[in-house]
Structure 1
């Protein structure tokens, strides 16, 4: 059965490549969190989107900084770009979003997938966030559903719901470029974990196969890279064709049960990300710190379980 959203994305990619109307992408890589932030713009209008930004955070002191985000401000300013969108592919568990800080300086609308509501419910309970924490996605300007079409300047774009890593993961296809968050990594590294609350390896497999049905020539921009063994440089751009042929976890020919068995066994060996506690609590709030307490200070909670 034809997937109408993938069919629409495929038509968009094919048309953009045929006409040469494709976006320009500049990537900023944050070594401490292994995160790639992409600034994508329409060369015809200079409208741009910032995908998966990073706020610097020192867990030992609790201090935040915006050196990484300032690089993006400097680039956008120098290139005379106009920020229309700040896009989050999901509630990240490994870095804090700089979206509100960037929005104050550059404008734009903050968007994420509509299943953020489910994630807010899960983590709102886990961290006992209380009634002041809205769990309706209202911290964001736009909640995308699967197949939502939008524009970046004169470039067409479409949102794809690709759950599995978390329930709310989104990919954004802008022109001929797909920004896929934490679903796939570089072909030599594999795929994202699926053991966070609300994650599911079988669901991730179906989301990945859906992405891999896009045209082979689709440019793919990843959210993370960890340098596969034998590779010395960070990398964050590949193609759908390369992933289908060479992804070590999910290349063509790997069936669902084999993937789920591999992913489940691999996830059982992984430790939690270093910044998972602050990241989730900030990112489920759209990049804002928890509301200050009566002394004017914001606090990150750490749940403690008994032995």
Structure 2
């Protein structure tokens, strides 16, 4: 593991380390934070969007469907903290000799992930389950060769030999974590396990206390390998805007964290994307999605208010 200046740079470094470059394709989910696709484009490659299901994670079958001779990496995202399908995606990619880079920015703490990828990218943005004072990230790998390349790309392409400032790569980033972020994390790591347990407890309380509304909304099914970065819900009955307005009047903010799917934006990549009809199922899932508040410092009293608002809306 080595530290970077951001999770986005961690993704760029990982992509370069497995040889992704101009004209290559990288399979990514269509519902992630923009950093996932931006990192692909930053190294000159083309993001190829894959469908999701109600786990909000990339479908393994879509990796099989979308891979071509130009596919140089698969980049699944553990969205909202769920790691569903990562092992299956890794098996499919290994058979095709395609490297897997896991965007684990939202699921720090699940140790088994490193066994299902070539490289793993983390983010320690202050909004993550564990965050530094500002932007920072990390790259993890079990491969000494990939580790060597990643270190070189992270700091101007320097070889890292005894003599400093000797380049081994044509180019590189200035992307090492600064000392302030490292110092902050060195303290916060000591509190991570307790905070992780708190998130799991809050998620369990949502499942328990909202079980009677299962015919109105669908709660996350991936409850074992999940860090609960966010708590996503699918609305089965009612209008999402109506629910949001009802909750807002009662002092509760519901949200759609990433409101626009990657192929639905107004920028050239989205407007020019071909065969948009292939994403119909993902669009239907996304149209029912919203998020309940959940964070390290939420009290049971605050959570009970949110649960009460949902019961009042659906009664």
TM, length-normalised to structure 2:
0.32
Looking at CA atoms only, which structure, 1 or 2, has the larger radius of gyration?
2
Q: Which has a greater percent of helix?
A: 2
TM, length-normalised to structure 1:
0.32
